Amino acid sequence: MKIFFVISYSVLFALMSACAPADPSPTALTPITIQLGSGHQALYGGLYVAEQNGYFEQEGLRVNFLEGSPSTDLVAPLVDGTAQFGLMGASAIISARAEEQPIRAIATVLRRDPVVFFSLSDSGISKLEDFIGKKVSVSERLRPRLRAMLGHAGIDSDEVIEVGTGGAAGLYNGDVDVASGLVTSTVLSVQQDGYTVNIIYPDDYGVHFYSVTIYASDDYIASNPEIVTRFLRAALQGWTYAVENPQPIGEMVPLYDSDADPAFETASMTAYLPYINTGENYIGWMQPEVWAGMVDTMLEQGEISAPLDVDDLYTMEFLQQIYGENTP
């Protein structure tokens, strides 16, 4: 999968700066809480930049972060008002909306999904067709992605041996032939362990998903459009800076998690860059055909039981307001 950088960041900064308000008095800062999808890590580098470089303060905001975990309910805090904004995968937004949860995306941080399948370089497994007859370690959450890929390639899922355990460690001892995980962390760790790998991207087989999105509740969006705009403008400025300057992100993460390894976080941030800036449109931008494709794939794989109105899943109102006349 080849991704090229073509966005002019000077234009983005000019657009954002032109709309930025005058520096507020510290007493005027509006507190907001952001529900993270996991513990602190480089993935949230744009938010750290926005706080550390004063972008949130310039917008009259004071932020508080709530860490998440695999067991965290990422929807309830926004519905009950504990948090005003959150970050989680686009597929989770779709699943929540299918359950009639009143949340929607306002921007996409990762415009391609960094989940990949990978094998050791000397395994001879370098493409999806090589999965036939092989043991593939795949979690319950990622199984629909694998089966969608296989379907697009005309391969019956019964021809692949799916195992729920093993992971990257299983590659080392031969328990599995193919593992799955994030190219920005799992694969990075394997490479740092001294292994070289073949990477198979779902995008190359027609499975296109947005990954981490910024979302808010319908009520908060309707009641506080100005705060949503200010928050998103500062966050996008932060991610723009992070894309241009990934090195400082590794030093910022330990400010939020003292156990974080700055070198690893810098490498992780660097790995995220082509997923944040795909070379299409603007950072954070969303397209209806991608959301429609995600819904179709999830419906096909039984992750949701009925079609959804794509317009209920996200809003472009704030991105269009921030980027102005230069929107695609």
Do 124 and 266 sit in the same domain of this protein? no
Please identify, among 173, 205, 237, the residue that sits at the C-terminal boundary of a domain.
205
Residue 14 lies in a domain: yes
Please identify, among 171, 205, 239, the residue that sits at the C-terminal boundary of a domain.
205
Supply the pLDDT for residue 327. Answer: 58
> Residue 326: which pLDDT band, with cuts at 50, 70 and 90?
low
Is pLDDT of 14 > 50? no
Extract the tokens encoding 221.
Answer: 């969006």
pTM of the model: 0.87
- The pLDDT tens digits for 46-101 are 999 999 999 999 999 999 999 999 899 999 999 999 999 999 999 999 999 999 99
> Residue 2: which pLDDT band, with cuts at 50, 70 and 90?
very low
Q: How many domains does the chain contain in total?
A: 2
Do 47 and 120 sit in the same domain of this protein? no
Going by the DSSP 8-state scheme, the letter that residue 182 receives in this structure is: E
- The pLDDT tens digits for 184-198 are 889 999 998 999 999
Do 36 and 141 sit in the same domain of this protein? no
Supply the pLDDT for residue 18. Answer: 47
- Over residues 262-268, the mean pLDDT reads 94
Residue 247 lies in a domain: yes
Distance CA 268, CA 258 (A): 17
Do 271 and 139 sit in the same domain of this protein? no
Residue 277 lies in a domain: yes
Do 88 and 216 sit in the same domain of this protein? yes
**Range(s) of the domain holding residue 225:** 9-112+209-326
Distance CA 143, CA 149 (A): 10
Residue 1 lies in a domain: no
Cβ 164 vs Cβ 137: under 8 Å: yes
Do 69 and 131 sit in the same domain of this protein? no
Most confident of 24-38, 172-186, 228-242: 228-242
Do 263 and 230 sit in the same domain of this protein? yes
Q: In DSSP terms, which residues pair with 180 in a beta bridge?
A: 117
Query: What mean pLDDT is reported for the chain?
Result: 90
Is pLDDT of 3 > 60? no
Which residue's structure tokens are 């390639």?
A: 153
Indicate the SS3 state at residue 62: strand
CATH number at residue 197: 3.40.190.10
- The pLDDT tens digits for 203-220 are 999 999 999 999 999 999
Please identify, among 205, 225, 242, the residue that sits at the C-terminal boundary of a domain.
205
